[in-house]
Amino acid sequence: MKIVVIGGTGLIGSKLVAKLTEHGHEAVAASPNTGVNTLTGEGLAEVLTGAQVVVDVSNSPSFERAAVLKFFETSTGNLLAAEAEAGVGHHVAVSIVGTERMPDNGYFAAKIAQEQLIEKSGIPFSLVHSTQFFEFARGIADEGTVDGKVHMAPVLFQPIAGDDVAKAVGRTAVGSPLNGRVEIAGPERLRMDEFFRQALAAWGDPREVVTDPHARYFGSELSEQSLVPIDDATLGTIRYLDWLGSTGK
């Protein structure tokens, strides 16, 4: 099966291409680095020739509200049009658990816009909603740092390893289109402030973690279940401290 991975040279994309190739599929990494640009349309028709499935794990280079919305609307619009022309039978996109619960968040609003384009395209689709990746934990801590202290809300948090994300996305890609969503999360559910206390201790980071109910997550104030699945989710198997010990990240 030919599966084109948009964003295939990035964090999740590179893992996904490797896993699909291991299972005997023709997995093609598509990104500006390989001559495929979804913003301009360059290389799309060529790379999609003969493709049965397209997986979009691309991301905006800017998280500024207007820029990220423009990226996902333009990129997804061009991609879906090219897929329709090529006769692609399954479009898979990775999104975020809780997008609809934080419409004030510019990035989440852009992902909602992307999902709406996919749902209205007429192309059979699957949406994989994931919780936050382990690989982004340090960036989240830095974003929450105020005056040298890491401010975190005491809300539920259930991050997932990038390898577990790639496995789940791969299974979805080779399966029948859901024409809906599946949610994935890590195996451990903790309070966000407690997770980061444990994480910073494991990193050897001396910053104090402050429990702050009004701490913002990339500009948005969180409620108890903003970032975790509310209904059933597919859970990964890799625990954070085990992942940290094996990767050193």
| Domains within the chain, CATH numbers bracketed | 2-247 (3.40.50.720)
Rounded-to-integer distance, Cα 1 and Cα 79, Å = 19
Q: Over range 4-31, report the average pLDDT.
A: 97
Q: What is the pLDDT of residues 16-28, one digit of tens each?
A: 999 999 999 999 9
Angle between helices 65-86 and 106-120 (to 10 degrees): 20
Residue 249 has pLDDT above 90, yes or no: no
Residue 35: is its pLDDT beyond 90? yes
Question: What tens digit of pLDDT does each residue of 193-244 get?
Answer: 999 999 999 999 999 999 999 999 988 999 999 999 998 899 999 999 999 9
82-87 long-range CB contacts below 8 Å, 24 or more apart?
82/41, 82/44, 82/45, 82/48, 83/48, 83/51, 83/54, 83/121, 83/123, 84/121, 84/122, 84/123, 85/45, 85/48, 86/45, 86/48, 86/49, 86/51
104, 116, 29: which is closest to 72 by C-alpha? 116
Average pLDDT score over residue span 56-84: 95
Q: What does pTM read for this prediction? A: 0.95
Residue-level pLDDT at 79: 98
Residue 62 has a pLDDT of 86
pLDDT tens for each residue of 175-188:
999 999 999 999 99
Which of the four pLDDT bands, split at 50, 70 and 90, describes residue 104?
A: confident
Cβ proximity of 93 and 118 under 8 Å: yes
Q: Are 12 and 57 in contact (CB under 8 A)?
A: yes
What does the alpha-carbon distance between residue 82 and residue 179 come to, in Å, rounded to a whole number?
19
Question: Above 80 in pLDDT, residue 139?
Answer: yes
Query: What six digits make up the tokens of 214?
Result: 């009004």
User: Does position 248 have pLDDT exceeding 80, yes or no?
Assistant: no
> Tokens representing 222?
């969180």
Handedness of CA 217, 9, 200, 155 (dihedral sign): positive
- Where do we find the tokens 């992902």? 111
| Nearest residue to 141 via CA among 205, 188, 184, 185 | 205
The answer to whether 114 and 72 have CB atoms below 8 angstroms apart is yes
Instruction: Report the C-alpha gap between 28 and 54 in whole angstroms.
Output: 10
Strand ranges in 32-101 using DSSP code E only, listed in sequence order: 53-56, 90-96
